[in-house]
Amino acid sequence: MARARSSDAWIAANPENGDLYAAYVQRDASGFAQIYVARSTDQGATWTAARATDGTHNSAYPEIAVTKRGVVGVLFIDYDDAGSVTLFRHHFAHSFDHGSSWDDDVLQTMNPGLSPTASSGFLWGDYEGLTATKNTFYGVFTGESSGRTTLQLDPIFFRQKSCRWWWIGCWLEDDD
């Protein structure tokens, strides 16, 4: 499988303290292309990197953003070709500890072979975006439509507040 050939790296800055974060793709000991996030606290003079993905599938096309509280978010795609069809998953991972550990949510799993607008059944591209304002992430990716008679690819928008204690409720987190 050819690796991602474009949009393999993105950079973002913490709006409060200026720390820099760069997300990029690197094949590692897992044998798969993985998403890594590097952090610099000295305006890019030195960097410390950690893997943001789990090492079980090829991953690519990272988008990165940082909230005002320093929560780092990464939107990326992976695929699973172990079965009879190739499944693509859009992920949103976030870190509350400057990229040392990651919580990962699958936003959508899609079989493009079911869509007449994706005739090859294989999609692998940088069709997404991520930004943060205050303490909320906003993202978009091209995914499987819902509620349409004929499946097709549509923009899928999402919003994720940077709440660490979700069982208490995001409403306890101020948004300024």
Q: Assess contact for 141 and 128: CB atoms under 8 A.
A: yes
Of 36, 29, 27, 35, the residue nearest 3 (C-alpha): 27
For CA atoms 46, 52, 58, 62, the dihedral sign is negative
pLDDT at 4: 53
pLDDT at 161: 85
Termini Cα distance of the chain: 44
Yes or no: say if 91 and 130 are a contact pair by the CB < 8 Å rule: no
pLDDT per position as a tens digit, 126-174: 688 999 999 999 999 888 877 888 777 888 888 988 765 444 444 444 5
Asked whether 74 and 89 are in contact (CB, 8 A), the reply is: no
pTM for this one? 0.86
Q: pLDDT by residue (tens digit) across 10-50? A: 999 999 999 999 999 999 999 999 999 999 999 999 999 99
Count of alpha carbons within 13 Å of 74, Cβ hemisphere only?
35
- Among 38, 167, 175, which Cα is nearest to 95's? 38
- Per-residue model confidence as pLDDT tens digits over 79-128: 888 888 888 999 999 999 999 999 999 999 988 877 776 656 566 666 88
Per-domain residue ranges of the chain:
9-172
Distance CA 18, CA 41 (A): 8
